[in-house]
Structure 1
């Protein structure tokens, strides 16, 4: 059987690293992309040397996308079974106090970076039968998250892109899926929360939301790639928020307001 190949953005830490470990353990060739060279080296050191390729790349750079995907598929016999649009950054705090440059950066990385991956990755995925575009959304894309508005907006957009492309690319035989994890205790959550002196992690926990182990998200990524659901919710918080958003939106609204009051 031909070796399958997955390309992961944001592969230097967190969900990207955990997913790389799981897929490699199951015999897949792994391509890792990240702006963090040290993080990439750290992930690669955990994988068999003959199974991994690393690329320092910014998802905002469209030319870099082409160069990197060309290089990776040259190592995989032309295959790209899964493109995992996972790279993302976080910012939090009151929108009224947010720095415009930081807002622009979050939108450029989380939204335009994912769109770049989809638009440019299509040609490579279309050449591989049964391929899948996998996107990272977030529990903050279930109901708009107070204190995380720019981040939450980008993740809502990722869900919309997933749903749209699932229909648009069906004729080409490309599955499009999203994982919708609860908040994960990764370096992203340690970022300062905008105009607040708290980290995003503190903003999340103040709202009463649990954190989910990153290994659970990696397992969900595997299930999403091999399953039929467009969105795969991961962790207790994500499942509770999805239920509440549908059946008890008033209660969820109150919870978000309590989280901001705890500032």
Structure 2
């Protein structure tokens, strides 16, 4: 098990692949000590080999298990001298389909990982964040937190919840000097996407496929900023504004025409193809 030895530290959930793994790589390259957590122990082990055992702490973690989360945070604190510069709540799962046609258990699983998991992470990690000057509580929300998206209704709802929680905590945690912020990624080319979605995505526009390293770079930028919401790509902020100002118009655009509707249709078609 590695030790921070005075280095800044980041605790990352969902670190075995995609945005979490790229964030681990980026911060390691910046000289940080990395705590990497995921359900996928095999891919965590390859990440450890890449970063070097002295530079990281890897551990299998189910973010829905509060007691295990608390234990993971305690182990991390023991390796960092009781510090945590960034808590990155990134773990998430997706499940697509019409709400009434999805097994209800699948919907609950999305809620437990994407929202309860975030609550577990922040509640477990706030002690170390409070003990670390300039610390940041950072969470992965989603472009689907701009407007509720058909075909991923429950996933979208959890990401709205994450966004609202972040806004509230960004105020509450000021009394500790802890910042809170989130990232709202669009179509990120990671394993969470059904097969074929990224390949069929538009080549330009807000729903083009984005490499996960672009999100990792935002986590780095966010550490030195007081910005609340980070959009990847930045054009997604316009959708968020439109959804707030003209929700009925955005509803019709999503339902009938335009690049948003096409992106959703492509995703649903790819999902049906993946189901066989």
Aligned pairs for 1:141-156 (under 5 A) are: 141-156=145-160
Residues 93 and 201 (structure 1), Cα distance of their counterparts in 2 relative to 1, 3 Å cut: farther
Contact 1:86 1:136 survives alignment (8 Å) = yes
Deviation at 1:62, TM superposition (A): 0.8
Alignment root-mean-square deviation, CA: 2.3
Aligned pairs for 1:24-35 (under 5 A) are: 24-35=28-39
Aligned pairs for 1:220-239 (under 5 A) are: 220-235=218-233, 238-239=236-237
Residues 203 and 107 (structure 1), Cα distance of their counterparts in 2 relative to 1, 3 Å cut: farther
Q: How many residues align?
A: 255
User: Which residue is 2:273 aligned to?
Assistant: none
Deviation larger for 174-183 or 7-16: 174-183
Tell me whether 1:70 sits opposite 2:74 in the alignment.
yes
Residues 45 and 158 (structure 1), Cα distance of their counterparts in 2 relative to 1, 3 Å cut: same
Deviation larger for 233-242 or 2-11: 233-242
Tell me whether 1:170 sits opposite 2:193 in the alignment.
no
C-alpha distance in 1, partners of 2:140/2:158? Answer: 11
Structure 2: gaps (5+ residues): 270-276
C-alpha distance in 2, partners of 1:8/1:134? Answer: 10
User: Which residue is 1:99 aligned to?
Assistant: 103
Partner residue of 1:55 out of 50, 59, 64: 59
C-alpha distance in 2, partners of 1:187/1:79? Answer: 31
User: What TM-score do the two structures reach when normalised by structure 2?
Assistant: 0.85
C-alpha distance in 2, partners of 1:218/1:17? Answer: 9
User: Which residue is 1:123 aligned to?
Assistant: 127
Contact 2:6 2:80 survives alignment (8 Å) = no
User: Which residue is 2:253 aligned to?
Assistant: 255
| Cα distance per residue 1:29-88 (max 9 Å; x no partner) | 000010111121232232133111101010011111111111112111221111100000
User: Which residue is 2:24 aligned to?
Assistant: 20
Residues 128 and 40 (structure 1), Cα distance of their counterparts in 2 relative to 1, 3 Å cut: same
Deviation at 1:165, TM superposition (A): 0.6
User: What TM-score do the two structures reach when normalised by structure 1?
Assistant: 0.89
User: Which residue is 2:240 aligned to?
Assistant: 242
C-alpha distance in 1, partners of 2:250/2:51? Answer: 41
C-alpha distance in 2, partners of 1:86/1:234? Answer: 15
C-alpha distance in 2, partners of 1:236/1:255? Answer: 20
Tell me whether 1:114 sits opposite 2:118 in the alignment.
yes
